[in-house]
């Protein structure tokens, strides 16, 4: 997955660099927000749930190229309840394992196709993912097993690719349905990934 993401990012950068000089004219600053859903998963084996995702940021838009800085977060994930695996002694306490939330801050480079009305685009992202996890701990004595939980924070380099459609409503306001997938297996101990589908609103000056 990481190799695919890296190749895509290199391709997006190459396209942006090789684009017509006209694409570098009349930059338009923009602000945007997005709402949707994201699935958090460990890339090799496990899903941690799909919950609401909220995001927003600022950017600059040229004719064919867009540069954005974006932050988005997925909240309200539901860790699974852990069952006590110790036999022969009573088990007390309770615990969960999984993730509570995940936040990504990224820089995004997009390339737009088509005319000025409905324009599909490809996008690549490089950023950082932060996630709060809860894990279980079992302490066994001669008379009982005590189950408890503790919180941890994880971070990793987040690489993303995606596609969307820019739909102008007015000369300044547009809608952007978008799908993006992220991998944070690089520089991370938990190998998290994220699939994100959103509907965004963007305002350009």
pLDDT band with cut points at 50, 70 and 90 for residue 142: confident
Averaged pLDDT of the chain: 87
pLDDT band with cut points at 50, 70 and 90 for residue 43: low
Q: Which candidate, 123, 82, 88, places its Cα nearest to that of 106?
A: 123
Percent of the chain at pLDDT > 90 equals 65
Q: Is the pLDDT of residue 12 over 60?
A: no
Q: Which candidate, 10, 8, 50, places its Cα nearest to that of 195?
A: 50
Q: Is the pLDDT of residue 160 over 80?
A: yes
Q: Where are the beta strands (DSSP E) in 113-191?
A: 119-140, 145-168, 173-186
Q: pTM of this prediction? A: 0.83
Look at 56 and 14; give whichever has higher pLDDT.
56
Q: Residue 99 corresponds to which tokens in the numbers above? A: 């993730």
User: How many CA atoms lie within 13 Å of 168's alpha carbon, on the beta-carbon side?
Assistant: 10
Rg of the chain over all Cα atoms, to the nearest angstrom: 21
pLDDT digits (tens, 9 = 90+) for 170-202: 999 999 999 999 998 776 777 889 999 999 999
Q: Could you please state the CATH topology (level 3) that the domain comprising 2-204 is classified under.
A: Porin (2.40.160)
**How many residues comprise the chain?**
205
Q: Which candidate, 9, 4, 31, 38, places its Cα nearest to that of 131?
A: 38
pLDDT at 10 (0 to 100): 52
Q: Bridge partners of 63?
A: none
Matching residue, tokens 């990934």: 193
Q: Residue 108 corresponds to which tokens in the numbers above? A: 């995004």
DSSP label of 188: -
């Amino acid at each position: 997955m990481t190799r695919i993401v890296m190749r895509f990012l290199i391709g997006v950068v190459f396209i942006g660099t090789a684009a017509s000089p006209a694409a570098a004219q009349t930059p338009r600053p923009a602000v945007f927000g997005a709402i949707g859903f994201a699935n958090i998963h460990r890339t090799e084996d496990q899903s941690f749930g799909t919950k609401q995702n909220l995001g927003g940021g600022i950017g600059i838009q040229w004719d064919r190229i867009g540069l954005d800085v974006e932050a988005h977060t997925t909240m309200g994930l539901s860790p699974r309840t852990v069952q006590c695996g110790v036999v022969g002694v009573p088990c007390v306490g309770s615990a969960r394992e999984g993730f509570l939330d995940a936040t990504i801050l990224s820089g995004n480079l997009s390339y737009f196709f088509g005319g000025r009305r409905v324009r599909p685009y490809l996008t690549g992202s490089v950023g950082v993912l932060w996630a709060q996890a809860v894990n279980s701990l079992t302490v066994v004595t001669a008379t009982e097993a005590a189950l408890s939980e503790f919180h941890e924070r994880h971070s990793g380099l987040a690489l993303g690719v995606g596609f969307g459609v820019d739909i102008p409503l007015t000369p300044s306001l547009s809608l952007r349905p978008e799908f993006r997938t992220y991998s944070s297996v690089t520089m991370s101990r938990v190998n998290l990934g994220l699939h994100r589908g959103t509907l965004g609103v963007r305002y350009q000056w």
